[in-house]
Each structure stands twice: as structure tokens, then as C-alpha cells.
């Protein structure tokens, strides 16, 4: 195989380079950028031109492969890539695999191919949870879709599979301040696939829940601790609290590669803090006085008691069974 193509990546294995879709430019423009070094890959992750836990892991794996092809010290490349974004566990999972292999090209190929297969299995398990009723409305936060992965998606992979099975699913996408992955990315990819989607401001979640319009919430995850605590995009926790209050099932869709075997509880999950400029601007336009400080935690933790189930490629599990899912074979 000399080329790999997906929604987010185009890899030319024989030329030792790959292109990625620059997500900072969506939805206005589809811009593809080329990586020839592990530093290119590290910068793409740091600047969120690629983002979403599984895609961060895949791009990091490709970065190590590029370092190997160039005869560089792959241990240094791994170290550089590990320090790009602190919360997504898939980054470490992929880099650990790249460290253990003596065939970096083959291992990177496997990681890319496995991602799509894994997401399709998550989709099959998750679609069973969605009702067959006339129309089923799923609220999601941030972007846990094909754009957050090599392809297909986790939370949006569940929606895609359900639609493929003939279910009539309508998605409510939260805008997801500060960098608006919901508005820019979830709306872009669902609209592209003709899946009905309605955008709401983050502040409207409570309102739409009081209207009885939501059948289920499905979100992704950046890191899952062994006690079932889930780190995901900032704002997830408050959506989980509202879902609990309104008796709406709250599901997390994630591959088992998001489970950190070294994180016993939420206290062991590092939370990324990003520049305050992201909060004080909207797509480059200033919205707050320069003198006022802003806080910009990129993720929060949803405790296991607010999660009805975690949809993995191995099946649908209760949050208290995360540790056993990690070690079970599928
Ligand atoms: O900061 P981001 O855009 O990388 O955050 C992404 C999320 O929070 C996703 O929900 C998560 O990575 C799961 S993606 C399948």
C-alpha cells in the first residue's frame, strides 16, 4: 500500500510525507497542509490544526514514522510529540506503540487502519442504544466525529451508523466555546453527510432539555480514568449535570485506547490550560477588554455517577467496569 486516504489524512508512504486537513480553516475553506518532519506534526497538534484524541494519536504516530524515515532519533521525536497536548490519552497510547515497534511504517499504518475499524464497532454498539422512534434527537458537544479521528468518528460514528441502519437521527450540536468545534466542525461534517443538525449556543442546553427535545446525549472522551471518570471538552460536565436533572441518558463513546491504565481517578488526569486569547476573541475578533484576565481550561471531568454508559469497540459498559474492559479481549 503506497497511499492512505481518509477525511482527515492523506499519507504517501513511499514519499515519507503526509497531508492533513487544517481544521482551523473550517468551515470556510478546505486547506490541506503537508508534514515532512515530526516537528511539522507536533506543531499541527499544538496549534489544533488537527485535534480530537484519536486523530492526535494518529498524527503523532505518523510524526515518529517521519523521524525514522529521515534517520533521526525517534526517541527524541517521541519526547517532543508527548509534550504537545497534555490531556488526550490516545497520544501516549500511540507513542507507546511506536516506541515498542521495530517497523514504524507498519505500526503507523496499523494505527490508522485500526482507528477506522474501531470507530465502526463503536458505531454498531452505540446505535443499538438509540430508539427506533420516528425521530430521535441526540445532543453532542465539541466534535467527536470523523474530523476528530482518522475517519467515521466516535460519538458521531454512533450517529452515522444509526443513520446507515435507517434510523431517523437529528443532532443538536453545541457551539463549544472558545474555539467552536461544534459550530465549525460538527456542523460541517454532518451537513456534508446530509445528517440533520441544528446548532445551539452552549447556553441553550438547559432550555432545549426542558422542551423535552433530547432523547440522548453522546459525547467523546480525551482520557478515561479507571474509576470511570471522563475528561472531555470543557462544558461536558455541566451538560451531564443537566442531563441527569432531566432524566436524559448520557453516553460517552470512546475507544479503549482512551482509557489511561495509570489514572486511578480524576485526580490523575492532567487538564490542559490554553491561552486566554482564545476566550477573549472569537475567530480573531476581540470580545473583551485587554486588561481583564481570562481562564481557559480546555477540558473538564464528568464523574462516573453522571454517566449512563461508555460505548467502546468492545461493547457498551458501565463506567464502573472500565478497568475490566481495558483488559478484556473482544
Ligand atoms: O480540544 P479538542 O478539539 O482536541 O477536544 C476534542 C474533544 O474534546 C473530543 O470530544 C475528544 O477528543 C474525543 S474525539 C473522538
Quick: pLDDT tens for 134-150: 789 999 999 999 999 99
- Domains in the chain and their CATH numbers? 3-117 (1.20.120.420), 129-327 (3.40.50.10470)
Over residues 204-262, the pLDDT tens digits come to 999 999 999 899 999 999 999 999 999 999 999 999 999 999 999 999 999 999 999 99
Question: Which DSSP symbol is given to 247?
Answer: T
The CA 147 to ligand 1 mean position distance, Å, reads 10
Euclidean distance between CA atoms 54 and 150, whole angstroms: 7
Residue nearest to atom 15 of ligand 1 (CA): 144
State the Rg of the chain over Cα: 19
Cell numbers for 32: 490541506
Q: Which residues of the chain have pLDDT under 70?
A: 330
Report the separation in Å between the CA atom of 52 and the middle of ligand 1, taken as the mean of its atom positions.
4
The pLDDT, as a whole number, for residue 328 is 85
The residue to mutate among 51, 52, 55, having the most atoms of ligand 1 within 8 angstroms of its beta carbon, is: 52
Name all residues whose Cβ lies below 6 A of ligand 1. 51-54, 88, 142, 144, 148-149, 154, 181, 219-222, 232-233, 298
Find the 71 Cα to ligand 1 centroid distance in Å.
Answer: 32
pLDDT of amino acid 124: 98
User: Do residues 13 and 1 make contact, with C-beta atoms less than 8 angstroms apart?
Assistant: yes
What is the CB neighbour count within 10 angstroms for residue 74?
20
Which residue from 149, 175, 222 has its CB within 8 A of the most atoms of ligand 1, so it is best to mutate?
A: 222
pTM of the predicted model as reported, rounded to 2 decimal places: 0.98
DSSP classification of residue 238: H
Nearest CA to ligand 1 atom 10: 220
CA distances from 93 to 314, 320, 327 (A): 17, 21, 14
Residue 301 alpha carbon to ligand 1 centre in Å: 13
- Quick one: which of 17, 35, 47, 38 has its CA closest to 81? 38
Q: What is the 3-state secondary structure (H, E, C) of 254-272?
A: CCHHHECCCCCCHHHCCCC
The CA distance from 160 to 163, in Å, is 5
Alpha-carbon gap, residue 281 to 276, rounded angstroms:
9
- Beta bridge mates, 4: 11
Spatial distance between the Cα atoms of 81 and 38, rounded to a whole number of angstroms: 8
pLDDT of residue 330: 67
Q: State which H helix or E strand residue 282 sits in.
A: strand 281-282
Just list the catalytic residues: 222
Amino acid at each position: 500500500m503506497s497511499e492512505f486516504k481518509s477525511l482527515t489524512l492523506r499519507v504517501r508512504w513511499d514519499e515519507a510525507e503526509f497531508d492533513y486537513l487544517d481544521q482551523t480553516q473550517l468551515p470556510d475553506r478546505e486547506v490541506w497542509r503537508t508534514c515532512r518532519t515530526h516537528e511539522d506534526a507536533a506543531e499541527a497538534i499544538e496549534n489544533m490544526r488537527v485535534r480530537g484524541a484519536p486523530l492526535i494519536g494518529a498524527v503523532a504516530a505518523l510524526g515518529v514514522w517521519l523521524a525514522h524515515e529521515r534517520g533521526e532519533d525517534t526517541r527524541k521525536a517521541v519526547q517532543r510529540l508527548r509534550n504537545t497536548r497534555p490531556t488526550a490519552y490516545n497520544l501516549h497510547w500511540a507513542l507507546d506503540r511506536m516506541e515498542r515497534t521495530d517497523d514504524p511504517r507498519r505500526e503507523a499504518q496499523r494505527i490508522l487502519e485500526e482507528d477506522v475499524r474501531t470507530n465502526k464497532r463503536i458505531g454498531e454498539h452505540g446505535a443499538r442504544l438509540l430508539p427506533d422512534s420516528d425521530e430521535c434527537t441526540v445532543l453532542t458537544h465539541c466534535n467527536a466525529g470523523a474530523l476528530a479521528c482518522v475517519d467515521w468518528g466516535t460519538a458521531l460514528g454512533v450517529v452515522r451508523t444509526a443513520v446507515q441502519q435507517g434510523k431517523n437521527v437529528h443532532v443538536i450540536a453545541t457551539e463549544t466555546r472558545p474555539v467552536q468545534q461544534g459550530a465549525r466542525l460538527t456542523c460541517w461534517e454532518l451537513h456534508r453527510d446530509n445528517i440533520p443538525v441544528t446548532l445551539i449556543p452552549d447556553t441553550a442546553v438547559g432550555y432545549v432539555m426542558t422542551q423535552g427535545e433530547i432523547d440522548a446525549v453522546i459525547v467523546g472522551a480525551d482520557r478515561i480514568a479507571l474509576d470511570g471518570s471522563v475528561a472531555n471538552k470543557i462544558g461536558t460536565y455541566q451538560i451531564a449535570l443537566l442531563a441527569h436533572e432531566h432524566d436524559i441518558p448520557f453516553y460517552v463513546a470512546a475507544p479503549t485506547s482512551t482509557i489511561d491504565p495509570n489514572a486511578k481517578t480524576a485526580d490523575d488526569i492532567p487538564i490542559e490550560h490554553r491561552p486566554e486569547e482564545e476566550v477573549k476573541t472569537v475567530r480573531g475578533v476581540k470580545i473583551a477588554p485587554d486588561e481583564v484576565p481570562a481562564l481557559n481550561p480546555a477540558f473538564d471531568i464528568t464523574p462516573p455517577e453522571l454517566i449512563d454508559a461508555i460505548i467502546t469497540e468492545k461493547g457498551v459498559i458501565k463506567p464502573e467496569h472500565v478497568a475490566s474492559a481495558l483488559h478484556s479481549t473482544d
